[in-house]
Amino acid sequence: MRLRFWFYFLLPFILIPLQASSQDYHYWSEQFGGESSLMGGAVIAGVRDNSALFYNPAGLTFCDSNSISVSANIYKLQFTRFENGLGQGVDLNYNRYAYYPQMISGRLNLFNNKRFSAGYGLFSRYSSRLRFHQRYSMLGDPIPGRPGEEYFIGSMDFNNEFDEQWGGFGISYRLNRSFSIGLTQFVTYRYQYYRAALSTRTVSNDTLFDMSSINVSEDALYVNWRLVWKVGIAYDSRHFKGGITFTSPTVSFFGDADVQRELSFYNLGDVIPGSIKNFLAIDRQVNLNIHYKMPWSVGFGLRWKGDKTEIEVAGEYFSEIAPYKAVDAEYHPVLYPPWMFGDDKTLRLVDLVAANAPVLNLVIGYKQRFNEKYQGYASIRTDNCFAPSPASLPDGIWFIGRTWDMYHLTAGISRYQKKSILSAGLQFTMGSRTDMEQFADFVNPDFENILDGIVGNGMSGTDLGLSLILGYTYFLGNSN
């Protein structure tokens, strides 16, 4: 029966999602605090301000006085391009202009004891936007089974946005003159909205105006609340500082997701005689439990301090997360018309699946004191991609983003006053990758591949960014 042919022919395109860029697979995109950001995060050993709450809570007790800090990417430019993403010469481009706070935090002493310190803060841990809207049309013969030429119109609509906020409270205790320990408790909130839609249409170039279409779309909206703990140890001496941290895996305690997935084709029955003319597979499930995971990590840093110069080398290793289902949906009747499929109409279409590859990131930061009021900073850091291999994931909706390694360079300056510190600088970001699999090939539509064309590895990805970083710290008491 030709219907069975269509069902099993099109089923893989339901179970294999659109390969649309969705989320950034990078842990070190954002840094926090004016001076810590300008050091590129090379502060696990030498952090001595409120950002220690995030980088190494053991450093809180080495701060000189109570203070309040605010830092922000006051302006951020980002340019992303997928060259040949929809076929030779059909590119996908996205330009983003944004500003957002990185960190709002404070520090205070506990129990009137200089050995005990506490910190509190709110961090914009991750923030990303990626949107594509592209259309391509041509006159050719995408459906050889029909006489004459047809107009082919292919389009891709993609929108993904996600934000993750970390709020935390930390304590630190100085064991002796040189060593301290610390612990931070974070509560995290993650929001993500994702939509990817790929459609192809053909219209005959004659008076019959025969039209056919194929559509594939995925929609997901979820929120997820989790807990994270960070433990740190810090060492401080005249010329050397050291630090080690351990960040726990996330523990999800609340969240829900609404997910929809659809595949349909219209007016294709005459191409293969005896097959069904129209077909729809669709499922939508709401209020699903979601458990989005982040791995454990180990951070380390070593800083050398001279009279006017400080250099720190730091890194962080993030563990692997095996493939898992962030959303485990129910079996639903999804195939229409249902009477055509008998018992074969029940499937699970809206599972969300994910995995994380292990990653090691490294950074070197440089700090130079010019005089009593001004200090300069520079850094370079890696931001390696933790995207998994698609072949390792189970069936379901999975998100692919900028699957290339990134590099960040920063430079800036701080002005010290008696009661405050003002920091400003720039961050330049770059990354690229070649030989990537295309999303579709609209230039050479192929009916046997639901008019998407036979995709190859001819796509290249490029990302460039420039951010203006500002930070301000105000000291509540006497400062040194």
- In the chain, the domains with their CATH numbers are 2-475 (2.40.160.60)
Tell me the C-alpha distance between 293 and 401, whole Å. Answer: 17
Q: Nearest CA to 202 among 214, 219, 190, 193? A: 214
pLDDT by 10s per residue, the chain, length 480: 444 444 544 555 544 444 433 346 899 998 988 899 999 999 999 998 888 999 999 999 988 777 777 766 667 888 999 999 999 999 999 998 877 677 788 888 777 777 889 999 999 898 888 888 999 999 888 877 777 788 899 999 998 888 999 999 999 999 999 999 999 999 999 999 989 898 888 888 876 667 888 888 999 999 999 999 999 999 999 899 999 999 999 999 999 999 999 988 888 766 555 566 788 889 999 999 998 899 999 999 999 999 999 999 999 999 999 999 888 888 888 888 777 766 666 778 888 888 899 999 999 999 999 999 999 999 999 999 998 877 677 777 777 668 899 999 999 999 998 888 899 999 999 999 998 888 888 998 876 666 667 788 889 999 999 999 988 888 876 555
Report whether 24 contacts 387 (CB < 8 A): no
Which pLDDT does position 205 carry in this prediction?
A: 80
3-state SS of 218-237 is EEEEEEEEEEEEEEEEEEEC
Q: Nearest CA to 52 among 241, 174, 232? A: 232
What is the residue type of 382? T
What letter would DSSP give residue 275?
Answer: S
What letter would DSSP give residue 29?
Answer: S
pTM: 0.90
Report whether 321 contacts 293 (CB < 8 A): yes
What letter would DSSP give residue 53?
Answer: H
Report whether 118 contacts 106 (CB < 8 A): no
What letter would DSSP give residue 250?
Answer: P
Token look-up 């293969």 returns 272
